[in-house]
Amino acid sequence: MNTSFAEQTKVEFERFAPDWSITVFDCIDSTMNASRALMSTEDTKLPHCVIAGEQDAGRGRDGRIWTSSPGGFYATYMVSAAADGARLSGFSLMVGATIANLFEKYGLKIQLKWPNDLMSADGKKLGGILIETVPRAKETLLLIGIGINFDNPIDSATMSSVRSLGAASVQREEWGAELATMLEHALLDFVQQGLRAELGRWSKRDFLLGKSVEIESGDKIITGIADGISSLGALRIVTSLGIEEIWSGHITKVAHR
Ligand code: BTN
């Protein structure tokens, strides 16, 4: 008998992340929206993960749509951090590093494209991270949204998937449960010591490092050579005027030198 996605996800969370509560949907508009609704209507116990087999209004960064057909991985991990939002600003880079560490355990090497893209070595997008924060009296609630192409159909010209990369042994239900526990540890590490523990590994996986880039940041367009990330998570760019640190922005062009 085939086990359903929801049943298998519950089994794997009991095995790998027993302190997490979870809500599983076969289909939902967006796990981000569902997480917010859970937080406002119920006394949901944290940490909590909302996970869906498919989304019909998945949200990407900068208001983009995140296409979420069956077979992909779509989850929002809700955790509480004893820190204010400003101190957590570089945490999305830590999430990317944690995802890369987990894939590496399965023999899959991925790259990280500042700020929040997960890439295969051939420069195609494998997944993305969307983090939203909800300030509370003495803590910050983090909604860590993660979308990864696993077995879903993709446009292979621009995207890759866990399956297209040949990582046949990774199952999304188990992978998602293992990630929950790793994210909790990553958050504790980040609150105590920022990106320090992951900076070296982030650099080795830095997709933009040494490439010629163009970035839209606010009303500015910055061009130069990517020179890694700072210890606080800014992207360093060598421009004709010297080094600039970019805290938020959107990469509009990337070229090999
Ligand atoms: C990006 O634009 O690269 C970030 C994409 C994040 C998509 C995930 S899928 C699970 C969660 N629910 C959403 O609606 N979005 C995030």
- 197: confidence class by pLDDT, cuts 50, 70, 90: confident
Number of helical H runs and strand E runs in the chain: 5, 12
More confident residue, 143 or 42: 143
Share of the chain above pLDDT 70, in %: 99
Write down the pLDDT at residue 1: 56
- 3: confidence class by pLDDT, cuts 50, 70, 90: confident
More confident residue, 66 or 196: 66
> Which residue matches tokens 């996605």?
5
Average pLDDT over residues 202-213: 95
Write down the pLDDT at residue 41: 74
Which of 74, 114, 154 should be mutated for ligand 1, with most atoms under 8 A from CB? 74
Distances (CA, A) of 149 to 20, 115, 163, 166: 24, 18, 8, 13
pTM: 0.95
142 alpha-carbon distance from chain centroid: 12
Write down the pLDDT at residue 44: 82
Ligand 1 centroid from CA 65, angstroms:
8
Rounded CA-CA distance 71/26 in Å is 11
Ligand 1 atom, smallest distance to 116 CA: 3
Write down the pLDDT at residue 137: 84
Is residue 156 over pLDDT 60?
yes
Is residue 85 over pLDDT 80?
no
Is residue 98 over pLDDT 80?
yes
Phi, psi of 100, rounded to the nearest 5 degrees: -65, -40
Write down the pLDDT at residue 150: 96
Ligand 1 centroid from CA 150, angstroms:
14
Write down the pLDDT at residue 115: 93
Average pLDDT over residues 36-48: 87
Q: List pLDDT tens digits, range 166-179.
A: 887 899 999 999 99
Is residue 86 over pLDDT 90?
no
Write down the pLDDT at residue 84: 78
Spatial contact of 236 and 243, defined as CB atoms under 8 Å apart = yes
Task: Give the mean pLDDT of the chain.
Answer: 93
CB distance 30 to ligand 1 below 6 Å = yes
* Residue whose CA lies nearest to ligand 1 atom number 2: 60
CB distance 61 to ligand 1 below 6 Å = yes
> Which residue matches tokens 């300030």?
135
Rounded CA-CA distance 64/41 in Å is 27
Write down the pLDDT at residue 40: 82
Write down the pLDDT at residue 42: 65
CB distance 250 to ligand 1 below 6 Å = no
